[in-house]
Amino acid sequence: MFEKPLTPSDVGKLNRLVIPKQHAEKYFPLGGGDSGEKGLLLSFEDESGKSWRFRYSYWNSSQSYVLTKGWSRFVKEKRLDAGDVVSFERRKLNGDRFYIRWRRRPVPVQDSGAVQEIPGPPMSAWTRVFYSAHPYPPHPHGPPPLLYQPDSLHHASIPTGTKYSLSRILEFWKNKIEMRNK
Amino acid sequence: MFEKPLTPSDVGKLNRLVIPKQHAEKYFPLGGGDSGEKGLLLSFEDESGKSWRFRYSYWNSSQSYVLTKGWSRFVKEKRLDAGDVVSFERRKLNGDRFYIRWRRRPVPVQDSGAVQEIPGPPMSAWTRVFYSAHPYPPHPHGPPPLLYQPDSLHHASIPTGTKYSLSRILEFWKNKIEMRNK
DNA sequence: ATTAGCACCTGACAC
DNA sequence: TGTGTCAGGTGCTAA
């Protein structure tokens, strides 16, 4: 049916996938007043045969069609990232089902030289911690990103229970924000 | 009956107070199918004798009990802030009524003077920032205050060894930065 | 235009 | 380890 390259918001904390209107209206029509109220529950099968249910609805405020409930679980399980592509298919072969596929982003993002190193011995530790732990890059529009998440750091593991002393936290972030505000 | 120290959300723009489940089910039972649907209207008397009505209901999605309608007016009139404590009481003395009381957040524990492993601001910087930052967006005019006010730190309300989980730290600072960028 | 209120949703974390 | 709780969110509607 169609594909969509995921935006940062699609894989971010908004927990929703925007379906481009032309595709939404063509393939997932919401019947006006009836199902249009609360949306639909759409079921898809992934590459492993696992079934995924997403709530599909229309947001009047943004006039867009979205998958909401269930979407974030999919993003997490598949470890989807901005630029990756999801595709929705319908196969009438055995029973007319919906399928959802995904693939890594076609070409690695070119390094624009935007990654900023924070100087200082403790800081480098912190940048690593932060990069690897920060699930969502900042919004792509507006001011230049404060944080950047290079591919190589995606899954660097920090034990989830790791804790840090306040003074180091404050020191680090004071710096961050001062840089940001310059 | 019980008390609750208010969270930033309880006094913030969500306009609701979460009643901890244990207390809710003990003192404000929602009778299954009857009142469970639409909640109740609870009436309380404050310290001045003024009557407050709150809508009390159960949110299925989060499985929590909340005061909604009317709550924000109470917060505003009493100028409640995060950390302040509300208490709910029932007095059978004259007529078995509900009372609602409130008090300012407990005075912080005196700073022990212990030195941090790494030089940095006292712990209260953190608490102060954390709580004062949330409720209502606090930029009246002029540049919003930078991260913390070292000059206003006379107490430590957290034991000096306290550490924080990464997720809390990141969440907090993400908010901070977003506010500054607004 | 703003916002209280409402019914939902989710991730983090304490146990 | 899971699981339940709940703090912090969302979009929508009505006023």
Mean pLDDT of A69-75: 95
**Same domain membership, residue A83 and residue A46:** yes
DSSP state of A55: E
DSSP state of B108: P
Which alpha helices (DSSP H) does chain B contain, by range? 21-27, 71-78, 123-133, 166-181
Which residue has tokens 């006010």? B149
Inter-residue contact B169 to A164 (CB < 8 Å): yes
Beta strands of chain B (E only): which ranges? 2-5, 17-19, 40-45, 51-59, 64-67, 85-91, 97-103, 163-165
What are the Cα distances from residue B61, in Å, to A6, B14, B64? Answer: 28, 16, 8
The pLDDT assigned to A94 comes to 79
Q: Which residues pair with A100 in a beta bridge?
A: A88
Of A133, A146, A173, the CB nearest to B147: A173
**Same domain membership, residue A146 and residue A67:** no
Rounded to the nearest angstrom, the minimum Cα separation between B14 and chain A is: 17
Identify the top-confidence range among A131-135, A157-161, B28-32: B28-32
Chosen domain end from B75, B103, B131 = B103
Per the model's pLDDT, the better-predicted residue between B80 and A171 turns out to be B80
- Side-chain-side CA neighbours of residue B158 (13 Å): 18
**Same domain membership, residue A87 and residue A46:** yes
**Same domain membership, residue A143 and residue A96:** no
**Same domain membership, residue B26 and residue B60:** yes
- CA A81 – CA A120 distance, rounded (Å): 30
User: In degrees rounded to 5, what are phi and psi of residue A124?
Assistant: -65, -40
Chosen domain end from A75, A103, A131 = A103
Inter-residue contact B145 to B129 (CB < 8 Å): no
**Same domain membership, residue B138 and residue B81:** no
Query: Using 50, 70 and 90 to split pLDDT, how confident is the model at A131?
Result: very low
**Same domain membership, residue A125 and residue A85:** no
**Same domain membership, residue A139 and residue A62:** no
Q: Is A33 on the interface with B (CB under 8 A)?
A: no
The pLDDT assigned to A73 comes to 95
Question: Which of B125, B133, B129, B131 minimizes the C-alpha distance to B156?
Answer: B125
Does some domain include residue B109? Answer: no
Q: Which amino acid is at B9?
A: S
Q: Which amino acid is at A116?
A: Q
The pLDDT assigned to B146 comes to 27
Query: Using 50, 70 and 90 to split pLDDT, how confident is the model at A34?
Result: low
Q: Is B149 on the interface with A (CB under 8 A)?
A: no
Each residue's pLDDT tens digit, B19-78: 999 999 999 998 765 555 678 999 999 999 999 999 999 999 999 999 999 999 999 999
Q: How many domains does chain B have?
A: 2
Q: Please list, residue by residue across A110-126, b when 16 or more beta carbons sit within 10 angstroms of its beta carbon and e when fewer do.
A: eeeeeeeeeeeeebeeb
Mention every residue, 6+ apart, whose C-beta is less than 8 A from residue A77.
none
**Same domain membership, residue A125 and residue A95:** no
Of A160, A164, A174, the CB nearest to B147: A174
The pLDDT assigned to B57 comes to 95
Q: State the nearest residue by CA to the C1' of C7.
A: B59
Does some domain include residue B159? Answer: yes
Least confident of A3-7, A47-51, A142-146, B76-80: A142-146
Q: Is the pLDDT of residue B125 over 50?
A: no
The pLDDT assigned to B32 comes to 62
Chosen domain end from B103, B135, B168 = B103
Task: Read off the pTM.
Answer: 0.65
Per the model's pLDDT, the better-predicted residue between A59 and B170 turns out to be A59
CATH code: domain of residue A6:
2.40.330.10
Which nucleotide is closest, CA of B6 to its C1'? D7
What are the Cα distances from residue A179, in Å, to A119, B31, B51? Answer: 12, 56, 51
Domain that holds residue B139: 123-181
- Which of B146, B165, B169 should we substitute to test contact with A (largest number of A Cβ atoms within 10 Å)? B169
Question: Which of A36, A38, A73 minimizes the C-alpha distance to A52?
Answer: A73
**Same domain membership, residue B97 and residue B127:** no
Question: Which of B165, B172, B119 minimizes the C-alpha distance to A171?
Answer: B119
